[in-house]
Chains A and B, each alone.
Chain A
Amino acid sequence: MAEEVLQDVFLKIWDKIDSYDREKGKLFTWMVNIARNQAIDKTRSREFSKDRQTGDLGKFVNRIDAKDHIELGVEAIGLRDLLNRLPEDQQFVIEKHYLKGYTQSEISEEFNLPLGTVKTRMRLAMQLLRNLLVK
């Protein structure tokens, strides 16, 4: 399924490249958002047709077929180490968002955190990561 998404994302980027505005942010950011939305759409539509449930992305990302399994390289271990250097609450929001595909609102609702708290934690996490990643 990941490969299907990958193809769709490339085609979408190709189609929508005219709407990219460099004044509003980097191209990379723009593409990441297309990719994320495409991945979320895909998991949702797929699971929806399967068991008529929507709303909880956590349920979707935890049910991935074996054929979608992709071997992680050595880099994944570096990633673990990197995330482990964040305070627990910040690690939590980063993982939920970047690895589990939760939106900030979903994190807020599902884990009973005010949206403002999710935002400031994400901010603190990104600042720490900036220091850790840019050496």
Chain B
Amino acid sequence: MNVEAYIASGILEAYVQGQLSAEEQADVEKNIFQYPELRKELAAIESTQELLLQQMAIQPNASLKDVILSKISMPPTSKTVPMDTRPNGRWNWAAAAAIAVAAIASYFAFDYRGKWKDSQRALTDLIAQNQQVAQDYNTVNERLDRLELDVNIINNPAFTRVVLKGTEQSPSALASLYWNETTKEVYLSIREMKELSAENQYQLWAIIDGKPVDAGIFDLTKGRLIRMKDVKPGAKTFAVTIEPKGGKATPTLETMQVAGNVIEG
């Protein structure tokens, strides 16, 4: 027999792990009697398994010891343990048995640890999801609050609505403006205006006594009212031009996008 190949096949490990059929087991037992190398290898495998299982071992509940000892002492005939003739041999095997049994308990415990880890992961996911939902809710809520304010302005009769229509350069542009002459507040609502390059901004002008007065700069913002600078009473016309970022003191008339006259109600 090729002892090396026999060992390399892993059959001794399977033997130690109790994985062989009765015939295979008998065969291995016959071989280990015959070949000292196999015997040596078997002992090494057994020691490895013992060390491994001790790593897995956990302490059983101390009270179990009494329960088991009382069950063992009940049978009428006492038993002798044949493998060890040293005086305290019985305690040796009892200690070893405790380790063996603890190893089994660890089968369950280790698996349980895995499940616990999974639950933790699931919990972390749920917390993250929950935070996301809360965040979304806040975003929606803020948006709703703002829309409510906008609606209040639009519905408020103190505000005069000025429709700003597209000029020849931008016929499709359209915006509305809400102006409260008493409080001077001005809000702008963009319906349709083109995107600007990063160097440019829109600028709103109020024409008062025939002169353009700066009413603030703004970027393209849709879906809500934009608060502009206050405009004092007397404005007859509003217009929007495209100016370099930050705005200018006087409008560039060639870039006028929308304009509209105040219709006194």
Residues in A lying within 8 Å of B, measured CB to CB:
1-3, 5-7, 9-11, 13-14, 17-18, 20, 22-29, 31-39, 61-62, 64, 68-73, 75-76, 78-79, 82, 94, 97-101, 103-105, 116, 118-123, 126, 129-130, 133-134
Contacts and interface: CB of A to CB of B under 8 A. Distances in A.
B112 A70 contact: yes
A11 B50 CA distance: 21
A116 B14 CA distance: 11
A10 B98 CA distance: 8
Contacts of B8: 120, 123
Interface of B: 7-19, 29, 32-33, 42-53, 55-61, 64, 67-68, 71-72, 79, 81-83, 93, 96-97, 99-113, 115
A33 to B, nearest CB: 4
B64 A119 contact: no
Contacts of A64: 108, 111-112
Q: Specify the main secondary structure of chain B where it touches its partner.
A: helix
A3 B60 contact: yes
Contacts of A94: 52
A57 to B, nearest CB: 10
Contact of A104 (B19, B42, B56, B99): B19
B50 A28 contact: yes
A101 B110 CA distance: 11
A100 B43 CA distance: 25
Contact of A29 (B32, B49, B51): B49
A22 B29 CA distance: 11
A26 B50 contact: yes
A120 B11 CA distance: 8
Contact of A70 (B45, B58, B68): B58
Contacts of B50: 26, 28-29
Contacts of A17: 79, 81-82, 93
Contacts of A101: 107
A100 B8 CA distance: 25
Contacts of A129: 48, 51-52
